[in-house]
Amino acid sequence: MDAAVLRQAPLFSQLDDEAADALAASMTENRLRRGQVLFHEGDSGDRLFVVVEGKVKLGRTSADGRENLIAVLGPGQMFGELSLFDPGPRSATVTAVTDASMMSLTHDELLRWLAGRPEVARGLLLQLASRLRKVSDVVADLVFSDVPGRVAKALLDLASRFGRTADDGVHVHHDLTQEELAQLVGASRETVNKALADFASRGWVRLEPRSVVLLDVERLQRRAR
Ligand code: CMP
């Protein structure tokens, strides 16, 4: 288990080293194979998770079977706390996009930490507030932005977490299929592919299987606005 990655999680962000070690010691390791489902939307849940290695996707399915991706999370990111703070079923299905390892904490254990350590509550509030900001942005983009704008934004968001800067640009191994990228943008696969092909023909990106190289970040940022 990579303690440094765990330490980046919001749960730990306000803790000193000693408390962080104690919190890590109360967590359990979970491993997933690529494609494996950790839990389904609607399940009851009793723990939250921090991704240590790999990536997971958070998805929802509509009544008529269409799928939407809420987020793709990687190392240091956390999920599974909503069903504790707002008691109810899991709000999304979590599936491994790559082989992944996670550390989990039971809700009961989290409540004990929250009672004894206000810093843990502060870390969680920071995460909830930043997520709310992000959800508001997504809603605004769905109303105000066109699909190419949303594609540009999704690529930049993936790059901020999974990008690696090289001489020719920012290499983003998102590990998503074209279908999953479209589900993340909230548009049809055809429309998203068209936007990607257009960006590629302008020299802004280079498309590779399950990854993309951002060649002109500035133009993409302008398109995302
Ligand atoms: P929970 O409902 O327990 O299980 C699914 C988890 O997905 C949820 O907790 C949150 O941690 C996470 N989640 C739900 N909605 C969002 C969102 N809009 N952005 C990021 N994570 C989310």
The pLDDT tens digits of the residues spanning 72-121 come to 999 999 999 888 888 889 999 999 999 999 999 998 999 898 888 888 88
**Short-list 199, 224, 57, CA closest to 137:** 224
pLDDT tier, 155 (very low <50, low <70, confident <90, very high otherwise): very high
**Short-list 74, 51, 68, 223, CA closest to 151:** 223
Query: Is 7 in a helix, a strand, or coil?
Result: helix
| Residue ID of nearest Cα to ligand 1 atom 1 | 80
In the predicted model, what is the mean pLDDT of residues 49-77?
93
Pick the residue with more confidence: 14 or 171?
Answer: 171
pLDDT tier, 162 (very low <50, low <70, confident <90, very high otherwise): very high
CATH code of the region 146-224: 1.10.10.10
> Alpha-carbon distance 209 to 196, whole Å?
13
Interacting residues of 24 by C-beta distance below 8 A, sequence separation 6+: 1, 3, 6, 12, 103
57 Cα–ligand 1 center, Å: 10
Structural tokens at position 102: 């996670």
Q: Which amino acid is at 98?
A: T
Task: Mark out the alpha helices in 89-205 (DSSP H runs).
Answer: 107-116, 118-144, 147-162, 178-185, 189-201
In short, whether 80's Cβ falls inside 6 Å of ligand 1 is yes
Q: Which phi and psi (to 5°) does residue 201 adopt?
A: -70, -25
Percentage of the chain modeled with pLDDT above 90: 68
Long-range contacts of 18-24 (CB under 8 A, 24+ apart): 19/117, 19/119, 23/105, 23/113, 23/120, 24/103
pLDDT tier, 3 (very low <50, low <70, confident <90, very high otherwise): confident
Q: Where in the chain is the domain with CATH 2.60.120.10?
A: 3-142
In short, whether 39's Cβ falls inside 6 Å of ligand 1 is no
In the predicted model, what is the mean pLDDT of residues 48-69?
93
CATH number of 3-142, picked from 3.40.720.10, 2.60.120.10, 1.10.443.10, 3.30.9.10: 2.60.120.10
Kindly report, residue by residue over 129-149, the tens digit of the pLDDT. Answer: 999 999 999 999 989 999 999
pLDDT attached to residue 1: 61
Mean pLDDT of the chain: 92
In short, whether 76's Cβ falls inside 6 Å of ligand 1 is no
81 Cα–ligand 1 center, Å: 7
In the predicted model, what is the mean pLDDT of residues 157-186?
94
Q: Which phi and psi (to 5°) does residue 101 adopt?
A: -125, 145
